[in-house]
């Protein structure tokens, strides 16, 4: 039971931070409004993404898309929990799975509540924009990178 404390603490922290930032954005910034933070590099921009990462499935049937993406999120969470159960002595990998779980739950809440995900972090260089993202997306991406590096590192003695 001790090893699940990391999963619970980090996942809940990610969900709270994700939902709090999204609530602030929706309350104070109108949809499609943009606030420049670092000129030529970073804005806070309130957008909605009905699709998946990089707006995949954005133009598909709304009911199908929402149910499909909720289903994918649920399957991903089940896989993360199954994998987490099997982790023995790899703290970075536990942290990675916890970040992924928290991010998945954060975006799942949006999908269930709104049928789409609230994004607001807008990174760009000049006119070249990265798709807007949120705290949940950041946690998932960070978790994936940590997982890859911890698996690679544990096979090469870096994290064992």
Q: What's the CA gap between 147 and 153, in Å, rounded?
A: 10
Would you say 137 and 107 are in contact if contact means Cβ atoms under 8 Å apart? yes
Catalytic status, residue 119: yes
Q: Is 137 a catalytic residue?
A: yes
Catalytic position from the list 18, 110, 119, 122: 119
Catalytic position from the list 18, 110, 122, 137: 137
Q: Which residues are catalytic?
A: 119, 137
């Amino acid at each position: 039971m001790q090893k699940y404390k990391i999963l619970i603490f980090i996942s809940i922290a990610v969900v709270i931070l994700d939902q709090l930032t999204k609530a602030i954005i929706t309350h104070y910034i109108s949809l499609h409004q943009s606030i420049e933070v670092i000129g030529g590099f970073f804005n806070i921009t309130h957008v909605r993404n009905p699709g998946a990462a990089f707006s995949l499935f954005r133009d598909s049937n709304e009911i199908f898309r929402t149910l499909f993406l909720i289903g994918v999120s649920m399957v991903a969470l089940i896989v993360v929990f199954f994998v987490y159960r099997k982790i023995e002595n790899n703290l970075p990998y536990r942290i990675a799975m916890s970040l992924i779980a928290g991010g998945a739950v954060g975006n799942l809440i949006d999908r269930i509540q709104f049928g789409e995900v609230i994004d607001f972090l807008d990174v760009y260089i000049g006119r070249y924009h990265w798709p807007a993202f949120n705290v949940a997306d950041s946690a998932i991406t960070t978790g994936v990178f940590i997982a890859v590096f911890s698996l690679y590192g544990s096979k090469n003695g870096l994290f064992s």
